Amino acid sequence: MQRYVRAKLHGIRVTGADLNYHGSITIDAELCREAGLEPLEFVEIWNKNSGARIATYVLYGEAGSRCCILNGAAARTCQVGDEVIIASSEWGAFDDIAALSPKVLTFKDGNEIDERIVYRVFRNARGEFDMAIETDAGAPLDVSSLVGG
């Protein structure tokens, strides 16, 4: 069993921070559903501005609100406007994750979706692990431009 990425929101901007809330991250339910993030699911959050890394659980916010609100202690790790990466993971064997096809959403200003990306994992003709990164149009993504997280 290994741990694999299951869903990712890449570059979503923090819209709020509520230190006095009991904890978690509140994310627009519409965005969660599209990426495949589930209510109360544990996620890792990586702040692109500060480098802070935390783990917490997802609460669904109002659908269509484009919210991304850090709550409780997590509120101390981000400022409104910071870009974060939110990733969920799943334990499984290679063939399990190959069937999953993890989804990634990238964002532009206002937390509007910029790109919809799918990680296609498979065994190539030689039986080796391989992958393709595809955009929402099904076209291959130019991975030479991708750096990090």
Alpha helices in the chain (DSSP H): 29-35, 94-100
Measured CA to CA, the distance from residue 74 to residue 16 in angstroms comes to 11
Say yes or no to pLDDT of 92 above 50.
Answer: yes
Burial code of 115-132, b = ≥16 C-beta within 10 A, e = fewer? eebbbebeeeeeeeeeee
94 pLDDT band (50/70/90 cuts)?
confident
Q: Per the annotation, where are the binding residues for substrate?
A: 56, 72-74
The residue ranges of every structural domain in the chain are 2-90, 98-142
CATH classification of 2-90, choosing from 3.40.50.300, 3.90.1170.50, 1.10.10.350, 2.40.40.20?
Answer: 2.40.40.20
pLDDT recorded at residue 140 = 52
Instruction: Give the DSSP H/E element, type plus range, for residue 83.
Output: strand 83-92
pLDDT recorded at residue 100 = 86
> Residue 55: which residues within 8 A CB-CB, separation 6 or more?
42, 43, 44, 45
Decide: 73 and 15 in contact? Cβ < 8 Å.
Answer: no
The predicted model scores a pTM of 0.88
**Which residues are the active-site residues?**
24, 57
Q: Per the annotation, where are the binding residues?
A: 56, 72-74
Measured CA to CA, the distance from residue 14 to residue 27 in angstroms comes to 10
